[in-house]
Amino acid sequence: MSQLRFDAAMNEAIHQALLTAWKAKPESIRYRPASEDQLIRFESEFEHVPTEFRLFLSEFGGGAVGSEWVDGIEELFESHRKFRKEFGPPRGWTMTNVFVIGWDGVGNPFGIHQPSGKILVEDHNFGGIHTMAESFEEFLIEGILR
């Protein structure tokens, strides 16, 4: 199995702490890891999965990260279809260059901003696009270890 590296700065101790804490979560709040075939199928229909999220899907699978649910591979198909359908004027989503990885508890999409690596959420209640975390690694550390 490949080592998960969300960022070159992530050390082995952090990786192991994340993985240990993740595996200690009940199976009912974790999705099964994605197979390479599932990832290829997703990418053939949609777009390239960002490296750090691809590794997360293949090793962790998806599920509850803090108060949010991060899509597993099967949920990812549905999320991307939904986001595409609801994107754009007159009152649709406006986030661009974001790879959606889930929907928050009130139905807002959140994902990885491809140019910056930040985790962004678009808020349909109060408006605007907001930063949830400075990186996917930070998002996982905050949601799994703290």
How big is the CA angle at 38 (ends 83 and 59), to the nearest 5 degrees?
95
Predicted local distance difference test score (pLDDT) of residue 3: 45
User: Higher confidence at residue 11 or residue 10?
Assistant: 11
Predicted local distance difference test score (pLDDT) of residue 11: 78
Binned at pLDDT 50, 70 and 90, residue 10 comes out as: low
Dump pLDDT digits (tens) for 63-99: 999 999 999 999 999 999 999 999 998 889 999 999 9
And the tokens for 8?
A: 């070159």
| 74 vs 93: CA distance, rounded Å | 22
Examine residue 90 and say whether the peptide bond preceding it is cis (omega within 30 degrees of 0).
yes
Dump pLDDT digits (tens) for 108-144: 999 999 999 999 999 998 889 999 999 999 999 999 9
Homologous superfamily of 12-145 in CATH? SMI1/KNR4-like (3.40.1580.10)
| 2 vs 23: CA distance, rounded Å | 16
Report whether pLDDT(7) > 90: no
**Alpha-helix residue ranges (DSSP H) falling in the chain:** 12-24, 36-45, 51-59, 73-86, 136-140
Which strand ranges, in their side-by-side order, compose the sheet holding 68-70? 63-65, 68-70, 98-103, 109-113, 119-122, 129-133
Predicted local distance difference test score (pLDDT) of residue 145: 95
What pTM was computed for the model?
0.90
